[in-house]
Amino acid sequence: MHEWALAEAVVSTALEESKKEGLKEITKIKLKIGELQQIDIDTFKFVLNEVIQPQNPMIKKAKIELETERGILKCRVCEHKWAFKEMLKKLDEEESESIHFIPEMSHIYMRCPKCKSPDFEIVQGRGVWIDSIEGEK
């Protein structure tokens, strides 16, 4: 369950940011969840909403919005673009678990479908990203 570690990271960053901005209370956090990391959204939400939020007055009432971001990869050699989803089906359990922990492992277990190069860019949908934090001063 390393969703826990990522949820902790989100809250820790939000709290730090709210301190910087002089917020009294955080009301909303918008998150993007990249497909490559294959986060278990239910676990992630549970840890945020049921475990961490109730413990922290600053963030207790915050609405946390999650948006899944499609994983898009682009070959640096032939410029072909493809979706992570298409490829996920071909990976075995061990391979997709490695990408789940470290999305860059995709360069080991995936190749450009057109030219077979490992030299591709993760254009979007790598992992957890904080889009915005809102609050009351």
Partner 1 sequence: MDPRLNIIDKRLENIKRIVAVSGGKGGIGKSSVASILALCLSEKYKVGLLDLDFYGPSSHVILGIPTCNPCLTGRQASGRKDVYPKEEKGILPPEIYPPTSRRAGGIKFMSIIYYAKDNPLAIRGVDISNAIIELLAITRWDKLDFLIIDMPPGIGDATLDIIRFLKRAEFLVIATSSKVVLETVKKTIRMLKETGVSILGVIENMKFKDSLFIKEAINQFDVRLLGEIGFDKNVEDCIGDKEKLLTSRFAQDIKEIILDYF
Q: Are strands 128-136 and 81-83 parallel, antiparallel or unpaired?
A: unpaired
Residues 102-121 within binding reach of partner 1 (CB under 8 A): 102-105, 107-109, 118-119
Dist CA 73 CA 79 (whole Å): 10
| Of residues 4, 38, 23, 28, the one with CA closest to residue 130 | 28
- Is 9 a binding residue for partner 1 by CB under 8 A? The answer is yes
What are the backbone angles phi and psi of residue 79, rounded to the nearest 5°?
70, 10
- Is 25 a binding residue for partner 1 by CB under 8 A? The answer is no
The residue within the footprint of Zn ion, chosen from 1, 9, 51, 115 (CB under 5 A), is 115
- Is 83 a binding residue for Zn ion by CB under 5 A? The answer is no
- Is 80 a binding residue for Zn ion by CB under 5 A? The answer is yes
- Is 6 a binding residue for partner 1 by CB under 8 A? The answer is yes
Dist CA 17 CA 84 (whole Å): 32
Which residues contact Zn ion (rule: CB under 5 A)? 75, 77-78, 80, 112, 114-115, 117
